[in-house]
Every structure is written in structure tokens, then in C-alpha cells.
């Protein structure tokens, strides 16, 4: 059985939603849109760019750990939005715990970085040509 205060909060939220959208009363399921959960991302729109860069890095067979994530984030933010960083008199700090949290959020697990990825057998010349096209 739910607490009485929980039921009151549900009712209050339902009445507020009903006042904002009268069509909600006529809907068959009576569903109320869910609220956003959790804390907002630390770096907002730049977080997606950091995640995409780290995923691309791992996709090419590189070892990805929290130090790599911290360096990547610092590089991207220094280039795109240095005013956010603590070193540039901003309010956001890139910490070890933030990097571990990002790795957990994108579901990266520890793995040994000394082994060559399976299925990638390229020569040095092919690697150099691919590197130029990937990062230019």
C-alpha cells in the first residue's frame, strides 16, 4: 500500500496536468507524461560530443580508460567551450569520478588494452591512410 502523501502528490500532479491539457481527461489510457529523472549532464550539449569521440576511439581499437576520457573531455572543451572549465575560471571540473561515471553510463567495461582487436589486420600504410581520413 502506498503512503497517503504519495497519493496526494499523484493527485496534485494529475490535476495540474489536466489544467494544462484538458484533452487528458478524454484519453482512454489516462497516462500522464513522465518527468525527467536524474541529474542533468555536467557538460550539457558537449557531453554528446565527448561520448561520441570516446566511442569512436574505442571502435578503432584504442584502450579507453578514465585518464583517456578526462584528456579527451578536456581537449574537446578547451576547443569548444573553455569558459566552462575550472582552469579557465569556469565552474565545472573534470574529475576522476566524473570520468568513471561517463564510462559506466556508456557501458564501457575494463578490458586489457595490450591485445590487438580481432578482425583488424592492416598494414602500416593502410593505417596511416585511414588515420588521415578519420581525423581530418
Confidence of residue 69 (pLDDT cuts 50, 70, 90): very high
For residues 62-86, average pLDDT = 93
The reply to whether 31 and 81 lie within a common domain is no
- Provide the 8-state DSSP code for 116: P
pTM for this model (two decimals): 0.61
* Residue of 7, 32, 10 whose CA lies nearest to 20: 32
The reply to whether 50 and 33 lie within a common domain is no
The reply to whether 30 and 49 lie within a common domain is no
pLDDT at 98 (0 to 100)? 95
The reply to whether 73 and 106 lie within a common domain is yes
Contact 42, 92 (CB under 8 A): yes
Task: List the domain range (segments joined by +) for residue 14.
Answer: 1-37
The reply to whether 55 and 89 lie within a common domain is yes
The reply to whether 29 and 60 lie within a common domain is no
Q: How many residues does the chain have?
A: 136
Residue 9: all three cell numbers together:
502528490
In the chain, DSSP finds a helix count (H) and a strand count (E) of 5, 0
The reply to whether 100 and 54 lie within a common domain is yes
State percent of the chain over pLDDT 90: 40
Q: How many CB atoms lie within 10 A of CB 82?
A: 13
Sign of the CA dihedral 41, 43, 45, 46?
negative
- Residues 6 or more apart in contact with residue 69 via CB below 8 angstroms: 50, 54, 99, 102, 103
Contact 62, 127 (CB under 8 A): no
In a domain, 124, yes or no: no
- Provide the 8-state DSSP code for 35: P
Total count of domains within the chain: 2
pLDDT at 106 (0 to 100)? 92
Phi, psi of 92, rounded to the nearest 5 degrees: -110, 135
In a domain, 127, yes or no: no
The reply to whether 106 and 50 lie within a common domain is yes
Amino acid at each position: 500500500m502506498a503512503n497517503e502523501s504519495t497519493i496526494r502528490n499523484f493527485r496534485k500532479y494529475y490535476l495540474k496536468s489536466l489544467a494544462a491539457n484538458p484533452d487528458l481527461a478524454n484519453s482512454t489510457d489516462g497516462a500522464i507524461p513522465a518527468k525527467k529523472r536524474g541529474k542533468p549532464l555536467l557538460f550539457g550539449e558537449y557531453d554528446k560530443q565527448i561520448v561520441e569521440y570516446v566511442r569512436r576511439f574505442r571502435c578503432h581499437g584504442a584502450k579507453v580508460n578514465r585518464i583517456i576520457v578526462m584528456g579527451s573531455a578536456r581537449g574537446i572543451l578547451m576547443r569548444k567551450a573553455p569558459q566552462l572549465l575550472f582552469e579557465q575560471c569556469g565552474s565545472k571540473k573534470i574529475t576522476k569520478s566524473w570520468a568513471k561515471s561517463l564510462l559506466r553510463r556508456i557501458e564501457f567495461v575494463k578490458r586489457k588494452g595490450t591485445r590487438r582487436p580481432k578482425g583488424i589486420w592492416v598494414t602500416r600504410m593502410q593505417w596511416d591512410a585511414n588515420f588521415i581520413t578519420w581525423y581530418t
